[in-house]
Chains A and B, each alone.
Chain A
Amino acid sequence: MKWTHCTLAGLLVVATLWPHASIAKTLVYCSEGSPENFNPQLDLTGTSYDAEQPIYNNLVEFKLGTTEIIPGLAESWDISADGLIYTFHLRKGVKFHKNHLFTPTRDFNADDVIFSFERQWKDTNPYHNVSGGTYYYFADMSFPKLLKSIEKLDDYTVQFTLTEPQAPFLSDLGMNFTSILSAEYADVLMKQGKPELIDQDPIGTGPFEFVQYQKDALIRYKKFPDFWGPKAKLDGLVFAITKDPSVRLAKLQAGECQVSSYPTPADLPAIKADPKLQLLDQPGLNIGYLAFNTLKKPFDDKRVRLAVTMAIDKQAILAAVYQGAGQPAKNLIPPTVLGFNDAIQDYPHDVAAAKKLLAEAGLPDGFETDLWAMPVQRPYNPDARRVAELIQADLAAIGVKAHIVTYEWGEYIKRVNLGEPMLAENGWTGDNGDPDNFYTELLSCAAARIGGSNASKWCNKDFDALINRAARLTDPAARAELYRQAEVIQHDEQPIYLIAHSITYVPLLKTVKGYKMSPLSRHQFDDVDLE
């Protein structure tokens, strides 16, 4: 009995003491999931990149809120006339963070650049096999094939030699997987026999230092006072991991976080109506589309593809599924990307013309087809099943009977890439804002191989020649012109039916100042301040 009394009295005393308000300026961001780890070389998800972004820098970076390349850890660079040699002049006096395992003894230099690339590239690097040793993006962006050599000319000059000219190379270097890690930290950990900690207790040069990760709960950062660029305005940054979107909104409305990730379209009216909140929006760097399998009858016939195109009511899909969070697509690339061709006129919704085209193609009574719908919500398509149902109804109007098919997501992608479906919904989210990242991945002949990411398996030599030439040029204006020409061929041949670019939203409290949306769907807090 005595014990109970003591405990109760103790609890009472403790409970009456109010929590101390935090004096430091800390922003809480409600993020949607846990990072895979803290090394962007190993990861593929935006959720992980968001968590890594505050810690690291790249040789070149994207200017906040744009896909424009600006100097990062490289102050300047020279590109040889043949586009094969990139020489980077590194910034001096850049400090690395420190933690309980490591205190840096030197500034950032060329060794860190060499280490960061060689770990992913060369199996002779002692870190190559650490933490699973799988570098998805490095492989995906064809770096093993593209890189011929990386040489240290002196402590502050690094030279990259490529096997072929590659215009998007600088944009690639702005992507998260090419973040620069500390070679000295790597050596220290290797000597301690704990190399895997480099991916869990990160050390970088970014505006925020990593403090703590409570698995699946919180990530804490603090301002790095020795940051080489403009210092962060916040003293601290916390990612509160909150998987459920309705709970994220509830937390935002209750003031438990100041910025939140990915709201659902259904919550947008409530956010707009809340006087405490502001809602930023921006066209997403993505495309949702329906691929015609051009290897299969009857979609090998352009007239059939055009008939289906004109039978589908795009506006109805946008209204019913995207609910204001999408803009109709008429190019493969969104309007913010280099080479967008605004002169293209989208095909009208015209059932009579569609029927006529089908009759011309020898199918006056229509035909049967499968229609694959993704099992998951993606940034470019909030509800693929609903989209499929709407398309199914539209196709029925011209006598085409579509059967909706779906698979588990991993299986779905595999089968689509193998060319199994006749009609398949699919989509893409850009990695670096470069048009090549859309055209080559989705419509090139190289990606049209069985198992490749060109879902329509369409391979047009003229189109391919244009996008390949564009990828080798460094002059943006000349590149843009080639992509505009390529888009005309795409539009005429219609290997895919373009549905929409989604609009991405970030809800935040009105007390948050200076937040800029990233076209690459990153959530960045470098310039953010709290009132």
Chain B
Amino acid sequence: MLKLLLGRAALLVPTFFGVTLLSFALIHLVPGDPVAVRVGEHGVPPEQLAAMRHTLGIDQPLWKQFLDYEVQVLHGNLGTSIVSQDSVWHEFITLFPATLELALSAMLFATLIGLPLGVVAAVRRGSVLDYGLMGVSVAGASMPIFWWGLILILVFSEWLGWTPVSGRIAPNFYIDGGTGFYLIDALFYSDDPGTFRSVLSHLVLPTIVLGTIPLAVIARMTRSAMLEVLGEDYIRTARAKGLSEFRVVTVHALRNALIPVITVIGLQIGALLAGAILTETIFSWPGVGYWLVQSVDRRDYPVLQGGVLLVASLVMLVNLTVDLTYGLLDPRIRR
């Protein structure tokens, strides 16, 4: 197990380097720089522009900028936002709970619905229900997040008035301090019981939008894994023993079918963070995704590089954890 852990961890080093290089290269391949973007149509004298570029260090050759950045990152310093002058790490830590809260909630939604759907489809294989569920799941997996979000806002917020349009909490509720996870903060850092309700209602639509694709993927994966397991000899044996169908499906089949499903759930974290960028933009959700989009507009290099690096590290960490969990669940992999 230790060997597995060390082996996987060693792979992280080149990946990490690759991510910094790639994010640096991509950002600098885009024409325009932060000074040009901020100045806009204004005719700031060239010497002043040069001075501004010098202050930011973007007048240096690219290789030098990259090396400086690497050294800085290895010292644990991700730099300072060109726009807000706040440290990239501090901004990330401030915004990340919002993204995590949304991602976890979307994951929970996707799993709680996707898993039973997959099981039902597998058990009723070939039935109208199976085709119906899988049809819906294909549609879900191919749904453009932006369009889906706007449709839900139109129906549930504008026409029916059931949910708020966007944001994380209604402005008349005030949470000061706390963990950054509003569901928790609303309970412990606010005197007003309505706060929790407001937070919960704001979470509904973004959760559905962000959770739709993982839901579809999980449902499909569960179905195929279940189908494979349901054809095994030991399932026939279990049935022959006279166990109830419910017990056969949930205890004997599902438990074994879960192994690939867990891997898929883990891999969805990367997809969730990517989806969060769009979801957060539509729902004005103040998380890491919206932060990154804004920094692209403003060419805020430190935020973009640092943000991409942190998100990528997170995805790597989750994948590592999934690998290890997989090892725990299936003893054959540990060898």
Check if A and B associate: yes
Interface residues of A (CB under 8 A from B): 14-15, 17-22, 26, 28, 33-34, 36-37, 42, 44, 131-134, 136, 139-140, 196, 199-200, 212, 214-218, 220, 238, 240-244, 246-247, 250-251, 253-254, 256, 407-411, 413-414, 417, 426-429, 441, 447, 451-454
How close is B323's CB to chain A, nearest CB, in angstroms? 30
B86-A409 in contact (CB<8A): no
User: CB of B82 within 8 A of chain A?
Assistant: yes
Instruction: Tell me the smallest distance from the CB of B48 to a CB of chain A, in Å.
Output: 5
Does the CB pair B158–A453 fall under 8 Å?
A: no
Of A214, A250, A407, A453, the residue contacting B286 (CB under 8 A) is A214
Pairwise interchain contact B196-A410, C-beta atoms closer than 8 A? no
Residues in B whose Cβ lies below 8 Å from that of A240: 167, 171, 284
- In the bound complex, do residue A413 and residue B40 qualify as a contact, i.e. CB atoms below 8 Å apart? yes
Q: Residue on A with the closest CB to B173? A: A19
Interface of A is mostly: mixed
Tell me, in angstroms, the Cα distance from A34 to B286 when the chains sit together.
Answer: 10
Q: Which of B82, B192, B284, B294 contacts A247 (CB 8 A)?
A: B284
Indicate if the CB atoms of B48 and A139 lie closer than 8 Å: yes
B316, CB-defined interface residue at 8 Å: no
Judged by a CB distance under 8 angstroms, whether B233 is at the interface is no
Q: Which residues of B contact A33 (CB under 8 A)?
A: 294
Known: A241-B284, A242-B284. A410 touches B291 (CB 8 A): no
Question: Measured between C-beta atoms, what is the minimum distance from A418 to chain B in Å?
Answer: 10
Residues in chain B near residue A414, CB distance under 8 A: 32, 36
Chain A residues whose C-beta falls within 8 Å of the C-beta of B241 in the assembled complex: none
Known A-B contacts A19-B197, A136-B38, A244-B284; the reply to A256 vs B164 at CB < 8 A is yes
Q: Is the CB of A410 within 8 A of B194?
A: no
Return A440 CB to nearest CB of chain B, in Å: 9
Cross-chain pairs A/B with CB under 8 angstroms, 26 sampled: A17-B194, A18-B197, A19-B192, A36-B84, A44-B38, A44-B40, A131-B85, A136-B42, A136-B52, A212-B174, A215-B291, A217-B167, A217-B284, A218-B171, A220-B174, A243-B284, A247-B153, A247-B284, A250-B153, A254-B157, A254-B158, A256-B165, A256-B166, A426-B41, A429-B41, A441-B42
* Chain B residues within 8 Å of A256, by CB: 164-167, 170
Distance in angstroms between the alpha carbons of A250 and B165 in the assembled complex? 7
Q: Nearest chain B CB to A447's CB is how many angstroms away?
A: 5
- CB neighbours of A244 from chain B (8 A): 281-282, 284
Residues from chain A with a CB closer than 8 A to the CB of B95 are 215-216
- Classify chain B: how many residues form its interface, as a range: 35 or more
Question: Which residue of the partner chain, among B41, B46, B168, B176, contacts A451 with CB atoms under 8 Å?
Answer: B46
The residues of B with any CB-CB pair to A shorter than 8 Å are 30-33, 36-46, 48, 52, 55, 82-86, 91, 94-95, 98, 150, 153-154, 157-158, 161, 164-168, 170-174, 176, 187, 192-198, 200, 281-284, 286-287, 290-291, 293-294, 299
Nearest-Cβ distance from residue B24 to partner chain A, whole angstroms: 18
A44 CA / B42 CA spacing, docked (Å)? 10
Q: Is the CB of A17 within 8 A of B36?
A: no
Pairs A-B, 8 closest by C-beta atoms: A410-B32, A19-B194, A453-B43, A410-B36, A217-B286, A22-B172, A216-B286, A411-B31
Contact: B166 with A17, CB < 8 Å?
Answer: no
CA distance A519 to B40 in the complex (A): 20
Nearest CB in chain A: distance from B138 CB, A: 27
Assembled-state Cα–Cα distance A263/B7 (Å): 54
Are B32 and A408 in contact (CB-based, < 8 A)?
Answer: yes
Q: Is the CB of B194 within 8 A of A247?
A: no
Chain B hits for A199, CB < 8 A? 85
The complex places the Cα of A215 from the Cα of B187 at a distance, in Å, of: 21
Are B41 and A216 in contact, with the CB atoms below 8 A? no
> Is there an interface contact between A34 and B294, defined as CB atoms closer than 8 Å?
yes
Whether A241 pairs with B286 at a CB distance below 8 angstroms is: yes
Q: Tell whether, in the assembled complex, residue A19 and residue B172 are in contact, meaning their CB atoms are under 8 Å apart.
A: yes
- Name the A residues within 8 Å of B94 (CB-CB): 215
14 additional contacts, CB 8 Å, given A37-B84, A136-B44, A242-B166?
A44-B42, A132-B85, A215-B91, A216-B286, A216-B291, A220-B174, A243-B293, A247-B166, A250-B165, A254-B165, A411-B31, A411-B32, A417-B43, A441-B42
Instruction: With both chains docked as a complex, state the minimum distance between the C-beta of B96 and any C-beta of chain A, in angstroms.
Output: 11
Report the minimum CB–CB distance from A64 to chain B (whole Å). Answer: 24
Q: Given A44-B42, A140-B44, A243-B281, answer yes or no on A254-B31 (Cβ-Cβ < 8 Å).
A: no
Evaluate contact between A413 and B36: CB separation under 8 angstroms.
Answer: yes
